[in-house]
A and B are shown apart, each in its own frame.
Chain A
Amino acid sequence: MFAPLKDILHLDTIRTTPVRFRLLHVFSAIAVLLLVVEVASGVLLVAYYRPTAADAFSSIAIVTDEIWLGWLIRSLHVWCADFLILFSFLHLIRVYFAHAYEAPRQLTWVTGILLLCVLLTFGFTGTLLPWDQYAYWSTDAARKAIAAVPGLGTLVLDLIWGGWAIGEEVLLRFYVLHIGVLPWIGALLLWLHLLLVWRFGLTEPVLRSRRYGRLPSSFFPDFVLSLLIAVLLLFGVLVSIATFFPATLTAPADPVKALGVVRPRWYFMAPHELLRQLPGKFATLALLAVFALLILVPVIDGRPDTARWKAIVRWTLGTLVITAALLLGVKGYLP
């Protein structure tokens, strides 16, 4: 009665996947599926959430304590966001070291970087929404960190915060960004990103001169089957973590009673620590330089050649940035 899905999409005829590193290629597909879970759990939470200073905390408390499986859905939403950003970073690292941003995939890379920025903004705005002490004071710490950035800081604060201290107005702005603005930007970027991936296919992340004696495997069913197994494993881990380490909710936000030590989410720890360690101007320059490098990588190193010195520079630079980010992150967690 219905044509099989693989016939409709021509999955078995036009798509192949690279010979090697199929496991690493799964990162991006997992990130997309995590995004689906994130959207679905977010839509469910919206059914009960109230974006006002008076009701936000208690509405989340009710979801957690009284609604059927509400605690699990909220935990999944929180953990899934962490996993989504983690897998997006892993995907970014894989693409970088695989030199997969070279022509004709420059735009794929740029849309991917922008998509990652959108995901980080999702995480940032979502942190405030439970309106508990951690939400309030971590956002307040972020406000101070952003304010320390010369020039840009005030602009960002005025644009996103509206110049207000953290209160109902900021909560409402973050909520609107989280569920009304970012999803559209994210969906557009994701659509463009996937379209470009589909158009140009996946790269072979090995030197082209080497042969492995194997043919590229087909997208369907080989890659899809690997993906299915990876997804089942991941969801098992995700649900287990969400069950045994459910998302916490501290006391309701109290602007008078400051928390002692407030650490940002793990994915903001490196820039947060950089802003803490260096004077505002240098830290800002360093962050802008990393961002500019990320965006401009395909312009600087976009030609498909296999020069050895380029590969060494690429690996050194990539390893340095990752090591620096990890060290800063670890330092931020140290007492």
Chain B
Amino acid sequence: MTGPQSRRSFLGKLLGGTLIAAALGVVSSVVAFLFPPDAVSSALGPQRTRVGKLDDLPVGEGKLALVNDEPVWVVRLANELVAMSALCTHQGCIVKWQPDRRLFSCPCHQGLFDQRGNVVSGFPQLPLPRLNVGVVEGEVYVSASRGPI
């Protein structure tokens, strides 16, 4: 093997290796791009509203927010967050969260809903519509899309 040939061979391998490394970098980045983080791939979707920081919402407390001009309650339970429309399914009054009783009460006709929005007593026949809620980097988001009832 002569000198120039071995140099050529070395440079060829160097170029080939660099190209393969660059190609692997591009392909792995593209694959990573196509696998969204959990928060994005969850039902939250792109149409979502930031409600506030999770740390500012103690367990058992609720926060009233506007999502697409509709009042929404976000309540932090022991192990999960729940979000539901704040409009009573009876006459559309805005229900209030009572942390001590863990109930939503309607000031208009005293309808009661539990912490997940199910009817407990009173005139309402339907539960409060649930919305998807999630946490992205410490921020609580509510999606306008409806969650499971």
The chain A residues found within 8 Å of chain B, CB to CB, are: 44, 47-48, 50, 54-55, 58-59, 61-62, 66-70, 73
Say yes or no: B33 contacts A62, CB within 8 Å. Answer: no
Interface string of B20-40 (1 = CB under 8 A from A): 000000000110111111011
Which residues from 33 to 77 on chain B have a C-beta closer than 8 Å to any C-beta of chain A? 33-37, 39-40, 45-48
Contacts of A61 in B (CB 8 A): 46
Given A66-B136, A67-B40: A58 touches B33 (CB 8 Å cut-off):
no
Say yes or no: B40 contacts A44, CB within 8 Å. Answer: no
Q: How far is the CA of A47 from the CA of B31 in the complex (A)?
A: 12
Q: How large is the interface on B (under 10, 10 to 19, 20 to 34, 35 or more residues)?
A: 10 to 19
Which residues from 78 to 119 on chain B have a C-beta closer than 8 Å to any C-beta of chain A? none
Contacts of A68 in B (CB 8 A): 29, 32-33, 35, 37
Which residue of B32, B34, B39 is within 8 Å of A47 (Cβ)? B34
Say yes or no: A58 contacts B29, CB within 8 Å. Answer: no
Q: Give the dominant DSSP class at A's interface.
A: loop
> Distance in Å from the Cβ of B135 to the closest Cβ of chain A?
13
- For the complex with contacts A44-B30, A66-B36, 15 further pairs of A-B residues with Cβ separation under 8 Å are A44-B34, A47-B33, A48-B36, A50-B46, A58-B46, A58-B47, A58-B48, A61-B46, A62-B40, A62-B46, A66-B40, A67-B37, A68-B32, A69-B29, A73-B33
Interface string of B109-149 (1 = CB under 8 A from A): 00000000000000000000000000010000000000000
> Distance in Å from the Cβ of A39 to the closest Cβ of chain B?
13
A73's closest neighbor in chain B, by CB? B33
Q: How far is the CA of A276 from the CA of B49 in the complex (A)?
A: 40
Q: How far is the CA of A69 from the CA of B46 in the complex (A)?
A: 17
Which residue of B36, B45, B48, B136 is within 8 Å of A67 (Cβ)? B36
Q: How far is the CA of A66 from the CA of B47 in the complex (A)?
A: 14
Contacts of A59 in B (CB 8 A): 46
